[in-house]
Amino acid sequence: MSTPTPRAPMLATAEALATLLSAASPIAGTESIPTLAALNRVLATDVTSPLDVPPMNTSSMDGYAIRTADLTAQGNNRLPVSQRIPAGHAPEPLKPGTAARIFTGATVPLGADAIVMQEQTEAAGADVAILHSPQPGEWITAQGADIRSGSVVLPAGTRLTPQALGLAASVGCAELVVRRRVKVAVFFTGDELTMPGEPLKPGAIYNSNRLTLRGLLEKLGCEVSDYGIVADKLDATRATLREAAEAHDLILTCGGVSVGEEDHVKPAVEAEGRLAMWQIAMKPGKPLAFGAVRRAAPRGETVAEPSASASAPGAAETFFIGLPGNPVSSFATFLLFVRPFILTLAGVQAVAPRALSLRADFTQSKADRRNEFLRARINPAGGLDLFPNQSSAVLTSTVWGDGLIDNPPNHAISAGETVRFFPFSELLN
């Protein structure tokens, strides 16, 4: 009687993520696009300011520009108003012994060294009474107070948020050089899968993963090719892999990477490239497949045999990641592994989500040997409530919850203790 082969130990989540990210590097290819169209794109080059911001001294208040030397210590200061300065207009130098009516954002006239807000003045015909003795520089925003000419305002690798676009515009950038979008092919396996709107046959289920994963990919700014539901046949799976490998950076699948007779993704990837099957010590989402699929050689060329390790592919390969089929498992593994992998391909510098330290307002007395990612939401008191059913099949928990509690292996949670929490606002960004 032969001795069964011992199972390989499960990878810790941190080890699995580090291995995955070590294989990724930013994709080649950039383009220059209008700043107005650059939301969520990734900068390929630094944005350096060609000017000071603001480019001149400006008023922070509606009021009067004055020379502090013109005011007397007694405080009975009445000055003639020599000019009116709206924002966007070039002022004349301030005449000694006068004040200038000025508005928020307007250029401070040469010679003025303070602004007195209008609430601390009284208009009196062509004069103004100054009821406050300001310090030099009061309510003046100095030239370059925000940005100095020549400084880097947005480094390469920045994912462009609305405020980042505003910052680029503030230094006059009409166009930005960004990396091209990551191209992802996605398909789903399982003869039991049915799309919404089609009749649900006995034994069939609706394909929720297709909608979830496509939405996640699009939210990351990927260029997505959806090959739909592929028949549970080895030749059909291999053909889809070959086609998908030709023009994509990553092939993402859901389901079919087990060792059952109807699970054809694993043998198909092994036939078309290489595959590493990982058992990760996490719940939900233990199984994950990572590898690469060969691309067809141009006519007259040959493709070298790929190495056995799941390292970064050359130009002749496309990355492959296979996710588990349970809806919460595929959702969680995407957020924790696929998201940072894609962001790394896109050239983003900081891919780790920020965690919050929050109070658990529940008790979970049963510890699991795996790293658990528990669906929870923030209650009005600022603590966390736990969704009552943490099954990997209960997609409701991902809509009800605000994020995932990162609970270490073999740790029971007591009410009142501080836990590590990843908000979906971070994981979906």
pLDDT of residue 302: 44
Higher pLDDT, 254 or 305: 254
Exposure on the CB side of residue 197, measured as CA atoms within 13 A: 1
The answer to whether residue 21 scores a pLDDT higher than 70 is yes
Residues contacting residue 118 through CB under 8 Å, at least 6 positions apart: 61, 62, 63, 64
Q: 152: alpha, beta or left, given left = phi > 0 and alpha = psi -120 to 50? A: beta
Q: How far apart are CA 335 and CA 325, in angstroms?
A: 15
Write out the two tokens for 127: 């004069």
Show the domains of the chain with their CATH numbers. Answer: 13-28+181-345 (3.40.980.10), 30-53+149-179 (3.90.105.10), 58-141 (2.170.190.11), 356-427 (2.40.340.10)
Q: 312: pLDDT confidence band, cut at 50, 70 and 90?
A: very low
Cβ contact 210:195 at 8 Å: yes
Write out the two tokens for 16: 């699995």
pLDDT tens digits, 93-129: 999 999 999 999 999 999 999 999 999 999 989 999 9
Q: How far apart are CA 146 and CA 152, in angstroms?
A: 12
Segment 146-165 shows an average pLDDT of 97
Comparing 214-223, 229-238, 337-346, 360-369, the range with the smallest average pLDDT is 229-238
Find tokens 């989500």 and name the residue. Answer: 353
CA dihedral 227, 230, 233, 234 (to 10 degrees): 30
* Angle of helix 234-245 versus helix 265-272 axis, rounded to 10: 50
Among residues of the chain, what percentage have pLDDT more than 90? 79
pLDDT tens digits, 206-248: 888 899 999 999 999 999 999 998 888 899 999 999 999 999 9
Q: 7: pLDDT confidence band, cut at 50, 70 and 90?
A: low
Sign of CA pseudo-dihedral 134, 140, 144, 147: positive
3-state secondary structure the chain: CCCCCCCCCCECHHHHHHHHHHCCCCCCCEEEEEHHHCCCCEECCCEECCCCECCCCEECCCEEEECHHHCCCCCCEEEEEEEEECCCCCCCCCCCCCEEEECCCCECCCCCCEEEEHHHEEEECCEEEECCCCCCCCCEECCCCCECCCCEEECCCCECCHHHHHHHHHCCCCEEEEECCCEEEEEEECCCEECCCCCCCCCCEECHHHHHHHHHHHHCCCEEEEEEEECCCHHHHHHHHHHHHCCCCEEEEECCCCCCCCCCHHHHHHHHEEEEEEEECEECCCEEEEEEEECCCCCCCCCCCCCCCCCCCCCCEEEEEEECCCHHHHHHHHHHHHHHHHHHHCCCCCCCCCCEEEEECCCECCCCCCEEEEEEEECCCCCEEECCCCCCCCCHHHHHCCEEEEECCCCCECCCCEEEEEEHHHHCC
Comparing 8-12, 34-38, 361-365, 394-398, the range with the smallest average pLDDT is 8-12
Beta bridge partners of 294: 317
Segment 160-167 shows an average pLDDT of 97
Higher pLDDT, 128 or 190: 128
Write out the two tokens for 221: 């700014």
Segment 238-265 shows an average pLDDT of 83
- Phi first, then psi: what are they for 345, rounded to 5°? -60, -35
Q: What is the mean pLDDT of the chain?
A: 91
pLDDT of residue 309: 41
Sign of CA pseudo-dihedral 219, 221, 227, 233: negative
Q: How far apart are CA 6 and CA 417, in angstroms?
A: 38
pLDDT of residue 231: 85
pLDDT tens digits, 61-101: 999 999 999 998 666 689 999 999 999 999 999 999 999 99
The answer to whether residue 308 scores a pLDDT higher than 90 is no
| Strand pairing class (175-179; 58-59) | unpaired
pLDDT of residue 303: 45
Residues contacting residue 199 through CB under 8 Å, at least 6 positions apart: none
pLDDT of residue 297: 66
The answer to whether residue 189 scores a pLDDT higher than 70 is yes
Cβ contact 312:345 at 8 Å: no
Name the nearest CA neighbour of 7 among 259, 344, 236, 224: 259
